Amino acid sequence: MIEKIKKMISDPLYAQYVWRRIYLKLLGTEKVFAHKSEFRSDSENGEYGAAVMKALESQKYFDNFKRNPEYQAILEHVNRDDGEKYLNITLSRNDGLFDLALKTSCRADDVGNPIKYKYPDIAEALSPNTLRYIKVSSDLSGLFGREFKSIAEIGCGYGGQALVNDQLLSVNLATLFDLPFVNELIKKYLNSMLLNGAYRVRAINESCPEPYDLVISNYAFSELPSILQRTYIKKVMAGAKRGYLTMNSGLGGERSEGKLTLKQLEELLPPFEIFEEEPLTAPHNYIIVWGHNGDFASKYMKQKKLD
């Protein structure tokens, strides 16, 4: 409790989130869950599910879903400064992906009414969340090349990373794993665009083990309870030739409670390397990568030093 109060004092956004939860509780707003409590991830707080359902039920709501505070507590909360850091990292690599993004992903980036900011030397305002997706696509391109027969993604939000990958890389088929009602939002979002490749959505219970070319997950696999992490490893990750996971659990901190430790992940996943998350968005974050091009990693990524 004291920790929570200290965090509320030091972090106004967190304070706003806590007050809003209290307000919604007083209003008696209905919560929406996909799983029984023991199978819920950090994001299954009930309010996130309710925000997703509203976006599915009302076009007016869908047109603004990226501004919903309950939605922003889980996704769509990259701040302007981190957006600039993602932008500068991508530009520093000279891989042409940012220019391509300006003509593609950024041009179409108005569905759901994202918050956008102006950045130096760029005419149009940009969403910092999309800048993060572009930086991840740039990582994928450097680490694994640009051609993928099949990518599996675990925990895909509204499909933002999948959309940017589709525009900047060559992806034949993306299999997107999320909660059943989130999968409906992904379909609504991606079907409002025109893709180069194809996608399909899956809930984990609807899938059998398959060998994917690449499996990715940003702040999502790491938020699942360990029992579900083991299932995703068995069905989606163990057979994947390549992997890229942005992690916010496994190395200590309160988010690691109930999740697999890094040592357990080393026993269960294909042999991997560990890199710094850049920019670092939380103290215990890191990136797991396997099956990659070591030259790109040694030039552009920093090995994570473990105590």
Ligand X SMILES: C[S@@+](CC[C@H](N)C(=O)[O-])C[C@H]1O[C@@H](n2cnc3c(N)ncnc32)[C@H](O)[C@@H]1O
Q: Which residues bind ligand X (CB under 6 A)?
A: 41, 43-44, 74-75, 154-157, 160-161, 177-179, 182, 204, 218-220, 223-224, 228
Q: How far is the CB of 275 from ligand X (least distance, A)?
A: 17
Reading phi first (left if > 0) and then psi (alpha if -120 to 50, else beta), residue 272 is in beta
Give the residue closest to ligand X by C-beta: 155
Residue closer to ligand X (CB basis): 97 or 156: 156
Q: How far is the CB of 294 from ligand X (least distance, A)?
A: 25
Reading phi first (left if > 0) and then psi (alpha if -120 to 50, else beta), residue 159 is in left
Residue closer to ligand X (CB basis): 141 or 229: 229
Residue closer to ligand X (CB basis): 156 or 289: 156
Q: How far is the CB of 185 from ligand X (least distance, A)?
A: 9
Residue closer to ligand X (CB basis): 38 or 267: 38
| Joined tokens for residue 209 | 């083990």
Q: How far is the CB of 127 from ligand X (least distance, A)?
A: 11
Q: Which residues of 61-74 are buried (b: 16+ CB within 10 A; e: fewer)?
A: ebeebbebebbbbb
The CA-based angle 178-48-26, given to 5 degrees, is: 155
Backbone angles phi, psi at 305, to 5 degrees: -85, 125
Residue closer to ligand X (CB basis): 26 or 205: 205
| Joined tokens for residue 90 | 């991508």
Q: How far is the CB of 289 from ligand X (least distance, A)?
A: 16
Reading phi first (left if > 0) and then psi (alpha if -120 to 50, else beta), residue 103 is in alpha
